[in-house]
């Protein structure tokens, strides 16, 4: 997949396009992309996803505390894996948000992206105040010779899947529900950095994960069964999200993973952990001995889940 940043887009010819922020690349987004690929193949056109950066809600001051399900590199990798040929990043500004739908459609989609087929999600609107719904977009398509196709919502238990609902599930620690809506296991990617190394003293060495994406969302504080990928190899493990109240003052938030059947020094390496199931809440233990006993219980539970 080739990635381009607007307005520095090479001459790509006519395109089949879908637009949106696509945070999470959840099952609904995947349905849109699959339809895009079908339309592109049927029309003999390259496929293109046009996304925005940063998140529109942050730029417009509607959610200053917004956390993301997928940072840009994750989004890029997932779209590439789905088979998208081109990714165009459109810088989102207040000026862009103020454009009327017709102006945006003409200047960005028709004139710059040369769209011939446009695929949109069930709730996708464009233009100032998101005023143009599917019917309005289809009218614009008719006016400019663009075929417009809408994809129905992805549902779980008769509820429409959205990035907001997935964030809510993660906030509650329900990673199983989040994974069902995503269509894959929610993951955290980062570098292993030095920590207090207290885990080694009680037989549970941990890797402290530093994510370079400051907006990346972590699930609710607690212990989780996780799948670990390190140097391309899979491992089982258990991860704690929180402030480690037994060990420190409970001020610094961290994500630390204990990898099962593993004893190598991995400081500085890149690691991915995928959340499988929540084990328990984070709580302060009275001693390191009590903490060790609880970690033994957690390990047994996590190994059973991962089997």
pLDDT of the chain, 307 residues: tens digit per residue: 999 998 899 989 999 999 999 999 999 999 999 999 999 999 999 999 999 999 888 888 887 788 999 999 999 999 999 999 999 999 999 999 999 999 999 999 999 999 999 999 999 999 999 999 999 999 999 999 999 999 999 998 888 999 999 999 999 999 999 999 999 999 999 999 876 666 666 667 888 999 888 899 999 999 999 999 999 999 999 999 998 665 665 556 789 999 999 988 888 999 999 999 999 998 887 788 888 899 999 999 999 999 9
Three-class secondary structure of residue 224 per DSSP? strand
Hey, do 2-160 and 185-306 end up sharing a CATH topology, with the first three levels equal? no
Q: What is the pLDDT of residue 292?
A: 86
DSSP 8: B
Q: Are strands 187-193 and 207-210 parallel, antiparallel or unpaired?
A: antiparallel
Dist. CA 64–CA 66, nearest whole Å = 6
CATH architecture of 185-306: Beta Barrel (2.40)
Helix then strand then coil, in percent of the chain rounded to 5, is: 35, 30, 40
Q: Which class for 141: exposed (0-12), middle (13-18), buried (19 or more C-beta within 10 A)?
A: buried
- The whole-model pTM stands at 0.91
Q: What is the pLDDT of residue 252?
A: 66
Q: Which residues contact 225 (CB under 8 A, 6 or more apart)?
A: 236, 237, 238, 276, 277, 279, 301, 302, 305, 306
Dist. CA 194–CA 210, nearest whole Å = 10
Buried b (16+ CB within 10 A) or exposed e, 257-269: bbbeeeeeebeee
Q: What is the pLDDT of residue 198?
A: 66
Dist. CA 221–CA 250, nearest whole Å = 12
Whose structure tokens read 């889940």? 305
Q: What is the pLDDT of residue 280?
A: 95
Domain assignments of the chain as residue spans, ordered by start: 2-160, 185-306
Of residues 106, 137, 101, 109, the one with CA closest to residue 121: 137
Q: Where does 2-160 sit in CATH, by number?
A: 3.40.50.620
Q: What is the pLDDT of residue 40?
A: 98
Q: Which residues are catalytic?
A: 256
Number of residues assigned to the chain? 307
Q: What is the pLDDT of residue 203?
A: 67
Three-class secondary structure of residue 288 per DSSP? helix
* Dmax (CA) of the chain: 72
């Amino acid at each position: 997949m080739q990635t381009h940043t607007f307005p520095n887009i090479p001459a790509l010819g006519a395109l089949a396009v879908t637009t949106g922020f696509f945070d999470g690349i959840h099952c609904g987004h995947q349905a849109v992309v699959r339809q895009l690929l079908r339309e592109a193949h049927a029309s003999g056109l390259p496929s293109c996803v046009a996304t925005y950066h940063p998140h529109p809600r942050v730029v417009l001051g509607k959610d200053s505390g917004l956390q993301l399900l997928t940072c840009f590199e994750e989004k890029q990798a997932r779209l590439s894996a789905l088979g998208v040929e081109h990714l165009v990043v459109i810088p989102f500004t207040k000026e862009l948000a103020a454009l009327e739908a017709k102006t945006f459609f003409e200047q960005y989609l028709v004139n710059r992206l040369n769209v011939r087929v446009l695929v949109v999600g069930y709730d996708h609107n464009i233009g100032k105040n998101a005023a143009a719904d599917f019917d309005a977009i289809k009218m614009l398509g008719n006016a400019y010779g663009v075929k417009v196709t809408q994809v129905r919502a992805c549902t779980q238990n008769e509820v429409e899947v959205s990035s907001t609902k997935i964030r809510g599930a993660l906030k509650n620690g329900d990673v199983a529900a989040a994974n069902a809506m995503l269509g894959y296991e929610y993951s955290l990617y980062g570098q292993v950095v030095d920590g207090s190394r207290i885990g080694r003293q009680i037989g549970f060495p941990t890797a402290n994960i530093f994510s370079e994406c400051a907006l990346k969302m972590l699930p609710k504080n607690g212990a989780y069964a996780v799948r670990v990928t390190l140097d391309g190899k899979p491992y089982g493990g258990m991860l704690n999200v929180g402030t480690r109240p037994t060990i420190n003052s409970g001020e610094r938030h961290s994500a630390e993973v204990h990898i099962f059947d593993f004893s190598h020094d991995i400081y500085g390496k890149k690691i991915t952990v995928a959340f499988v199931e929540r084990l328990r809440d984070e709580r302060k233990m009275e001693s390191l001995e009590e903490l060790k006993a609880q970690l033994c219980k957690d390990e047994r539970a996590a190994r059973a889940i991962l089997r």
